[in-house]
Amino acid sequence: MKKFVTIFLPLAAAAAFGFAPLKQQRPPRGRGATREVTQGELLRFGLPALALWVSGPLLTLIDTSAVGITSKDSALDIAALGPATSLCDAAGYVFAFLNVAATNLLASSTTREERLNVAARGLALAAWCGLATTLLLRVFGRWALAVFVGADASVIEKAASYVDARALGMSFLLASNVLTACLLGAKNSIAPLRAQFASASANVIGDYVAVAVLGRGVRGAAEATFGAQIVSALVLARAARKTLGKDFILWRTAPAGYAAFAAPVLVLVISKIASFGAMTHAASALGRVPLAAHQLSFTFYLLASLVMEALAAQTAQAFLPPLKGTPACKDVSSAIFNFAAIASVFVSAACFAFASFAAPLFSSDPAIAATLSTLAAPLSISVLLHAAVAHGEGVMIALGDLKAVGAAYALSALVFPPIALAASHRILFPNLLPDGAAIWRFFALFQLARAITFQFRAATLLLNDDNNPR
């Protein structure tokens, strides 16, 4: 118990508090918003947004640590957490178009009625999509897990207990995502951070009670997350009433433009899910210990990539839409890229250090630690390259180049996952993925190709936007 508390509490504090938010600056209204966006304003938005984005994966890391340290069979439980958390996160991620649309539509809205419409429509869609996702996970969850992990019945059973509990919170998860996106689109990153603190606290307490005290293991971790999602949705709804208006939930007008984002962002999401799913499947073919090490490395990558998403993609989508057709658009984009690039150097170094030396924080199995250390170098390179990927993606979405986003990710889905799956089954390229490190080296090459492609497209868009002022 002492070991659990000494490791668990520092992680919990990081997840709950993230970065200390700076005093929020109200964005200028009218044409003033198109004349100047200062670096200070970007930082005042980006740092709280960063803490908000990374807190979710940190809580997953806490779940992994809690289960791994208290479990009698650490390799089995962590191996089960990998596909289980991937499936639940993927199920919610399918509807990321709601978040992307909400942020962009709110940032572009000029009247109170437009903002109310965006929030109300997004919340209604989140509720219905969440209910449908809950039903699908409860009915087809075990079948989907079998696709991830193969025929290992003990891993599937453990993972299914996690999915069954997490499925109940899908409506609350999607509603929280939409409300957070609306608040970020309104350039209010402080209120969602406060809501995340409440959610993190609930998750920490739930993990301690369900996993450490009651010994409910993997399912207990899922129940703690479910409770935290309810807390998050309630606190965010209260914050949105203050920011957007007390009647935003009851507002009803014409559709708010979510459909335009659905197809390209859905392709983006499916491509990422397919790529990460192919990596997990390839790792599962290597055995429980490599799969457990891959789960830890993937959690590190997810946490690090969300730093880039917050500082690059999310900030671009919040600030660039009202600047389209002005000289400031290119300048703000460059400032955003610089912040993300600097952060990527530190974050990639942190990932290397964690993968090399910090495995005992998450598992008592020395075999997992030894395997994880071999993944450190390709993992850190993948993280370093993600700054360019996230910035390019954010600029394309912010400037309305949704077809290019969809096309790029459609091509990605046709290249990376089929090759990874074929190699893992020794159908093609039988020597391409002999171990976990090779999986991450292949992904690093894929990241490099995406970074070059996205940056070229973003530069072209910014040049055209600069040459066609409004």
Q: How far is CA 112 from CA 101, 213, 241, in A?
A: 17, 48, 13
Q: Which of the 8 DSSP states describes residue 195? A: H
CB–CB of 396/312 below 8 Å? no
Q: Could you write out the three-class secondary structure of 118-141? A: HHHHHHHHHHHHHHHHHHHHHHHH
Q: What do you get for the CA distance between the two ends of the chain, in Å?
A: 63
- Cβ of 14: how many Cβ atoms within 10 Å? 18
Structure token digits, residue 251: 């507002």
**Cα 147 to Cα 83: distance, rounded to the nearest angstrom:** 9
SS3 state of residue 31: coil
**Cα 328 to Cα 404: distance, rounded to the nearest angstrom:** 23
**Cα 73 to Cα 42: distance, rounded to the nearest angstrom:** 46
Within a 13 Å sphere around the CA of 350, how many CA atoms are in the beta-carbon half? 11
Nearest residue to 406 via CA among 341, 457, 448: 457
**Cα 27 to Cα 186: distance, rounded to the nearest angstrom:** 9
Q: Where are the alpha helices (DSSP H) in 38-188?
A: 39-70, 74-93, 96-108, 112-149, 153-167, 170-185
Number of residues that make up the chain: 470
**Domain ranges across the chain:** 2-467
pTM over 0.85: no
Within a 13 Å sphere around the CA of 310, how many CA atoms are in the beta-carbon half? 27
Nearest residue to 273 via CA among 85, 77, 101, 422: 85
CB–CB of 344/308 below 8 Å? yes
**pLDDT tens, the chain, 470 aa long:** 444 444 444 434 434 333 333 333 334 444 444 446 677 777 777 766 666 666 666 667 777 777 777 766 667 777 788 788 878 887 887 888 888 888 888 877 767 777 777 888 888 888 899 999 999 999 988 888 887 666 567 788 888 889 998 899 899 989 988 888 888 877 777 888 888 888 888 888 988 888 878 888 888 888 888 898 899 889 988 888 887 766 655 555 555 577 778 888 888 888 888 888 888 888 888 888 888 888 888 888 988 888 888 888 888 888 888 888 888 888 889 999 998 899 899 999 999 998 888 777 777 778 888 888 889 999 999 999 999 999 999 999 989 898 899 999 999 889 888 888 887 777 766 677 778 888 899 999 999 999 999 999 999 998 887 666 65
Look up tokens 């690039």; give the residue: 341
Structure token digits, residue 215: 């010994």
